[in-house]
């Protein structure tokens, strides 16, 4: 799990970003420090206290839209899959098929995640490679089309696979503990107010 999360967060940060702003993953680097006690002073000595938060705003610019899109799209895509793609009700589907829906829906959600977070990803990569450059310089050199599309197919492949796998793990755990997989529940039926009975007072 250690190596899995190490790679995941490095991929999220991007290779250039992770190479320059190593603060958040310093303690995962073999030989850098034995723990927080000796790692924290090294970070402060090298970059100052501000180094602990260096690059945080650009990271938010990428991760906040990414995370919002992931949760905004996944369950809706699952619902649409059971409504329009899967021929049988969810309750009649095997666990393997349900987990397949989880992966496929997670992959599609990952496509949306990659698309919405890709411009800031390219922007941060450009700023890290071009010393002293500004966001305006990035737009002039890469163009708006380049910010949105440069490297996007590969990132879709990576984020789609990562997102699909995460949701499969999530739903597999739910199955293990006896909970249903995501989606497929019938919507509650609305009852007109006039049909609601007033509670009778006890005598």
Confidence of residue 200 (pLDDT cuts 50, 70, 90): low
**Secondary element (H or E) of residue 124:** helix 95-129
Indicate if the pLDDT at residue 199 is higher than 70.
Answer: no
Confidence of residue 125 (pLDDT cuts 50, 70, 90): confident
Within a 10 A sphere around the Cβ of 30, how many other Cβ atoms?
5
Indicate if the pLDDT at residue 185 is higher than 80.
Answer: no
The more confident residue out of 113 and 20 is 113
The more confident residue out of 19 and 97 is 97
**pLDDT tens digits for range 14-71:** 555 555 545 555 445 555 556 667 777 776 777 677 666 666 776 787 888 888 999 8
Phi, psi of 162 (to 5 degrees): -65, -45
Give the contacts of 8 (CB within 8 A, at least 6 positions apart): 162
């Amino acid at each position: 799990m250690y190596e899995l999360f190490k790679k995941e967060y490095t991929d999220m940060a991007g290779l250039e970003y992770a190479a320059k702003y190593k603060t958040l993953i310093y303690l995962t680097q073999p030989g850098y420090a034995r723990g927080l006690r000796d790692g924290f002073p090294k970070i402060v000595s090298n970059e100052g206290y501000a180094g602990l938060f260096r690059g945080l705003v650009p990271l938010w610019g990428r991760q906040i839209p990414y995370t919002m899109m992931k949760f905004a799209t996944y369950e809706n895509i699952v619902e649409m899959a059971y409504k329009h793609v899967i021929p049988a009700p969810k309750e009649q589907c095997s666990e393997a098929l349900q987990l397949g829906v989880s992966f496929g829906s997670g992959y599609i959600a990952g496509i949306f995640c990659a698309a919405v977070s890709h411009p800031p990803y390219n922007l941060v990569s450009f700023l890290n490679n071009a010393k002293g450059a500004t966001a305006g310089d990035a737009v002039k050199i890469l163009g708006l089309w380049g910010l949105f599309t440069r490297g996007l197919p590969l990132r879709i492949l990576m984020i789609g696979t990562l997102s699909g796998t995460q949701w499969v793990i999530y739903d597999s755990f739910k199955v293990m503990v006896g909970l249903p997989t995501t989606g497929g529940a019938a919507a509650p039926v609305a009852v007109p107010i006039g049909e609601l009975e007033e509670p009778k007072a006890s005598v």
